[in-house]
Amino acid sequence: MYFTRNQIHSNFWNYLFLTNSEFLSFINNTINTDLLFGIDKIQAEYEMQWPITNHKIIPAHYIFANSESLSGLNNKKFDSLYTNTRVTDESYYKNELTLLSKFHSYFTDFHDRQSANDVYIKIKHLETERLEHLYEDDKSFKNYFEMIVNRFLERFSDYGTSPSKIVISSFKIILIFAFLFLFSTNSWNKINLNRYNKGITQSINYFTTDATIIKAYEIDENRILQNTNTKAALVTNRNHVPKVFSFFSLLFINTQTKLIEIKLSFWNYLNVVKNSWHELSSFKRVVYSFLIGVLMLGYLLIKVLSILFNALTLSINSFTTLGFGEIPIKGIGRYLAIVEGFIGWIFLTLFSVTLISQILS
């Protein structure tokens, strides 16, 4: 039997029941109407479409089973039946579950994952509505917990059918906690005030005296002196230590000294203030002021990006429960990290289960 490429448009409830046959092709139909729909059994040889219709569906088997009490129904009464009885009447609920389960089993057997997922989501929507009704009648913890779990699965994973939705939700949670961590005391972002004060003092000394940039900022002065003293000690005691030790030690010191000299040459190249700042020409002061401003803004930008990156890293670390050894935050941030870790554990578990189920389906 072929039922294909049909166009059905109506503002009234229509009846469609597919009986058993050796072959059935029910595809490419456009059904824009509410349906009393039924099918005995979906066999492997059948070709079926999903959705049957985007409008309301009442299981025909429910109508058959309750024909005496439901006789004489009109369009408005069918609407009322669908709205008021769908989850409150256990017989109706089970008939609709049976109908949807037939389609889910059919699409699962044919590895049509998209259609199977769509049917499964519809089944779980129906189950959630049923649980909400049961909770209204009996406000027990069991009913409440099952209802909340279903709502959670719907919101974040389409009832375990969408791993990508979990990833997107997880990323949003990570960003939210990263924002909160910005306002928490974090040892990663600790500012060394002594270092900043020393740097400011050295800068003042550089701009107001004739000290070179190397002298003012004490760049590697101690290392040069230390290398010189160590080299002198090695030369003096060359005959009193193993030659191989003396050879490799001198090689190491000479290499280090050469690298320091290259570094100092670079800093000498940047030594633009030869005497003092006020002795520079107006043009040079304008140019150097601009360059110094760019450098300071660049440093500030790097510092801000570092703080943002640290907050994001901390949030990812908490969410994935990788652990820190010691949590690098204090105060309320510690508790936020624990809360995020618990949320992350739930989401990562849900993601793993959802991904595996989709791979194996």
List, for residues 140-175, the tens digit of each pLDDT value: 999 999 999 999 999 999 999 999 999 999 999 999
Mapped onto helix, strand or coil, the DSSP state of residue 31 is strand
Query: In this predicted structure, what is the pLDDT of residue 71?
Result: 66
Query: 295: helix, coil or strand?
Result: helix
What is the mean predicted confidence (pLDDT) over 44-70?
A: 83
- Percent of the chain exceeding pLDDT 90 equals 32
Is the confidence at residue 220, as pLDDT, over 90? no
Q: What is the largest CA-CA distance in the chain?
A: 118
Q: Tell whether the torsion through CA atoms of 124, 129, 134 and 139 is positive or negative.
A: positive
Instruction: Report the range of poorest mean pLDDT among 98-102, 235-239, 315-319.
Output: 235-239
pLDDT at 81 over 80: yes
Q: Assign 323 a pLDDT band (cuts: 50, 70, 90).
A: low
CA dihedral 271, 277, 279, 282 (to 10 degrees): 100
Q: How far apart are CA 260 and CA 250, in angstroms?
A: 15
pLDDT one-digit tens code per residue, 266-285:
878 777 777 778 888 888 88
Helix (H) or strand (E) holding 30: strand 30-32
Q: Which residue has the tokens 């001198």?
A: 250
Q: Looking at residue 165, what is its pLDDT?
A: 93
Per DSSP, the three-state class of 88 is coil
| Residue 245 confidence (pLDDT) above 80 | yes
Taking a C-beta distance cutoff of 8 angstroms, is the pair 40, 61 a contact?
no
Nearest-angstrom CA–CA distance, 213 and 241: 39
Residue with the bigger pLDDT between 47 and 273: it is 47
Range of lowest pLDDT (83-97, 208-222, 261-275, 298-312): 208-222
Structure tokens at 61: 């088997």
Q: pLDDT band for position 229 (50/70/90)? A: confident
pLDDT of residue 274: 76
Give the pLDDT of residue 66. 82
The HSE-up count of residue 11 (CA atoms within 13 Å, CB side) is 1
Collapsing DSSP to helix, strand or coil, 37 comes out as: strand
User: So what's the pLDDT on residue 24?
Assistant: 80
Which pLDDT value is given to residue 324? 61
What integer pLDDT is reported at residue 100 of this predicted model?
93
Residue type, 89: D
User: Distance (Å, rounded) from C-alpha 170 to C-alpha 179?
Assistant: 14
With contact defined as beta carbons under 8 Å apart, do 268 and 213 qualify? yes
Chain centre distance of CA 60:
44
For position 116, what pLDDT does the model report?
92
* 110 pLDDT higher than 90: no
Query: What sign has the CA pseudo-torsion 130, 152, 119, 35?
Result: positive
Q: Which two tokens stand for residue 122?
A: 């519809």
Q: Cis (ω within 30 of 0) for the bond into 51? A: yes
Dump pLDDT digits (tens) for 325-352: 666 777 788 888 889 999 999 999 999 9
Rounded to an integer, the average pLDDT of 56-69 is 83
Listed as own residue / partner, the contacts of 2-5 with beta carbons closer than 8 Å and 24 or more positions apart are 3/29, 4/28, 4/29, 5/29
Structure token digits, residue 51 = 């959705």
Tell me what pLDDT residue 326 has. 65
What pLDDT sits at residue 149? 94
Partners of 35 in beta bridges: 14, 57
